Amino acid sequence: MDQITHWINGALDTSKPERSGDIYNPATGKTTKSVAFGNAATVDRAVNAATIAFAEWRHSSLTKRTQVLFAFRELVAQNKERIAALITDEHGKVLSDAAGEVTRGLEVVEFACGIPHLLKGGFSEEVSTGVDVYSIRQALGPVAIISPFNFPAMVPMWFFPVAIACGNTVIVKPSEKDPSAAMFMAKLWKEAGLPDGVFNVVHGDKEVVDALLTHKGIKSISFVGSTPIARYVYETGTKAGKRVQALGGAKNHMVVLPDADLELAADAAINAGFGSAGERCMAISAIVAVEPIASALVARIKSRMANIKTGDGTQGSDMGPLVTAVHRDKVASYIEAGAKAGATLVVDGRALEIAGDGFWLGPTLFDHVTPDMSIYKEEIFGPVLSVLRVNTYDEALALVNSHEYGNGTAIFTNDGGAARRYQNEVEVGMVGINVPIPVPMAYYSFGGWKNSLFGDSHAHGTEGVHFFTRGKVVTSRWLDPSHGGINLGFPQND
Ligand code: NAD
């Protein structure tokens, strides 16, 4: 069985782990690999390597950084299928989804290739006679990235290309459930010519996260995961004096107005609700149908659900298994709770039968869900869609705005004025208009509001550049050579 270990200073860590974790193939339920769990000593070794590497990397020219980023971009693109296969093997999502996340990550690398432009400062000449003021942005030092299981390639790539391009050195702590994509990319960085110690990977659970949050050598924390852990990471990291961006959970609403194209809305509900088995922070999990279209919409979604092929992600399926047996059972318990609470169970995913021990659960649809039910209040993070029926736009808006999460939302309508009002009034960080999953492009920043993000910086885009650098303003006065400088033929003072 493969043993995955840490990547420190451009090499695999050979120390014997005190603890390790199992990695499963979710489609078979079998344990396939084991991952070493690090501790404070592991983090210390990684921080030492990153600190030594920082002394040189921060002085690498913008040209050199861009060349390495371009080379890395090419290597990731060439190896997209191999990275996707590693993701499907450990996460379970279908291969096309896995390849799609690598593509989204690559877009951030491409964005970071423009770092010479992104790091340009400002300059004001003659703020006082003979005095100029200019601004520069400088790297922070070693920075940590702690990522969730659901996007093992894309989420670390939201951060590390920008961090490295800005001159920082990086320690990634991937999810212990699917750490292989990060390891593969570590090797690609080395092949791309990144100096050893600039990109490191440590594995583990709370113990290693706590060591990163409190280590004096770590200057910032970029975290993505569930809301309770995001809050904890934010509070602990900021208390230790670090800058922290901690992206948390979600409950994304899709509002369907009565004038919407219901075929388009139903297609979107299927893609956004069940893609990646609902294990996406931008998945739609609550559909707010503004009457009188709810029954017509539910009928369309139900009929499309019959065509979703759930199965092994390597076999041309539409939807794969859930990540672990524990998570599958948790999602199934929400279905039980929703039915008990009185919601109408239109399609029950628990009825799905697939031979073997894979972590299967079929797509599920609830109608007549009310705001007091746990299936609406809490993040389920599985293939479960809930339809809530309301009578007006204002009721729909109030529902979305009173939810604790504010990551993403979509509105379906043919009325541009209604869409414009929604984008203005909704308290959510990312808004889609007639699009199912409003994931911004790499050059915009990604992040939610309310309990979906702690800290004030979103990921990548210019906010990412800002997060991974600190500003410095220089006020300078250079006396004219006539004041005793080198003799350039100007008249000299006595
Ligand atoms: P998680 O919170 O369980 O784990 C995230 C990371 O934190 C992992 O690296 C894990 O090892 C570590 N961790 C887990 N428990 C910890 C603890 N007690 N102390 C310190 N560290 C701990 O999240 P997950 O299950 O891996 O991922 C799913 C969650 O991530 C969902 O809630 C989803 O909405 C969220 N997510 C959010 C975004 C976003 O952009 N807002 C993107 C992707 C995923």
The confidence band for 491, taking pLDDT boundaries of 50, 70 and 90, is low
Does residue 160 carry a pLDDT above 70? Answer: yes
* Confidence bin at 346 (pLDDT 50/70/90): very high
Model confidence at 165, pLDDT cuts 50, 70, 90, reads very high
Domain ranges of the chain: 2-248+452-475, 252-433
DSSP string, 2-23: EEE--EETTEE--SPPSEEEEE
Q: Residue whose CA is closest, atom 32 of ligand 1?
A: 226
pLDDT > 70: what percent of the chain? 99
pLDDT recorded at residue 126? 97
> Rg for the chain (alpha carbons), in Å?
25
- In eight-state DSSP terms, residue 222 is E
Q: For the chain, give the mean pLDDT.
A: 97
**Mean pLDDT of all residues in 450-469:** 97
pLDDT tens, residue by residue, 419-438: 999 999 999 999 999 999 88
Cα(147) to centroid of ligand 1, in Å?
7
Helix 62-78, helix 154-165: angle, nearest 10: 160
What is the atom index within ligand 1 of the atom nearest the CA of 233?
20
Strands (E), 123-185: 123-128, 131-139, 142-146, 169-173
| The two three-digit tokens of residue 459, written as one number | 């990921």
The model's pTM: 0.97
Residue 1 pLDDT level (bands cut at 50, 70, 90): confident
Give per-residue pLDDT as tens, 123-152: 999 999 999 999 999 999 999 999 999 999
> How far, in Å, is the centroid of ligand 1 from the Cα of 148?
4
232, two tokens: 């904890």
The whole-number average pLDDT for the span 302-309 is: 98
Model confidence band, residue 335 (pLDDT cutoffs 50, 70, 90): very high
Residues 263 and 301: their CA atoms lie apart, in Å, by 9
Task: Out of 208-212, 326-330, 348-352, 487-491, pick the least confident.
Answer: 487-491
Q: Is the pLDDT of residue 494 over 60?
A: no
Q: At 490, is the pLDDT very low, low, confident or very high (cuts 50, 70, 90)?
A: low
Distances from the Cα of 347 to the Cα of 63, 297, 350, 449, 475, angstroms: 56, 14, 9, 32, 67
Set 281, 343, 384, 459: catalytic member: 281
Strand ranges in 210-339 using DSSP code E only, listed in sequence order? 220-224, 243-247, 252-256, 284-290
For ligand 1, the distance from its centroid to the CA atom of residue 227, given in whole angstroms, is 8
Residue with tokens 């050893």: 196
> How far from chain centre, in Å, is Cα 330?
22
Could you tell me if residue 489 is left (phi over 0), alpha (psi between -120 and 50 degrees) or otherwise beta?
left
At residue 493, the pLDDT reads 61
C-alpha separations of 477 from 107, 125, 127, 474 in Å: 42, 10, 10, 10
Whether residue 292 is preceded by a cis peptide bond, meaning omega within 30 degrees of 0, is yes
Helix or strand holding residue 73 (H, E)? helix 62-78
- Is the model's pLDDT at 441 over the cut of 70? yes
Higher pLDDT, 1 or 316: 316
Domain 2-248+452-475 CATH (choose: 3.40.605.10, 3.30.300.130, 3.40.30.10, 3.30.160.270): 3.40.605.10
- Separation of CA 176 from chain center: 16
For residue 195, give the DSSP letter.
P
Ligand 1 interacting residues, C-beta cut-off 6 A: 146-151, 155, 173, 175-176, 205-206, 209, 224-226, 229, 247-250, 281, 379, 381, 407, 448, 452
pLDDT value at position 481?
Answer: 80
- Ligand 1 centroid–CA 462 distance in Å is 24
**pLDDT tens profile 201-258:** 999 999 999 999 999 999 999 999 999 999 999 999 999 999 999 999 999 999 999 9
What average pLDDT score do residues 105-112 get? 98
Q: For residue 86, what pLDDT is reported? A: 98
For residue 127 the two structure tokens come to: 């703020």
> pLDDT: is 23 or 491 the higher one?
23
User: Would you call 311 helix, strand, or coil by DSSP?
Assistant: coil
Pocket residue to mutate for ligand 1, from 35, 150, 213, most atoms within 8 A of Cβ: 150
For domain 252-433, the question of CATH label 3.40.309.10 is answered with yes
| Residue 281 is among the residues annotated as catalytic for this protein | yes
The pLDDT, as a whole number, for residue 483 is: 80
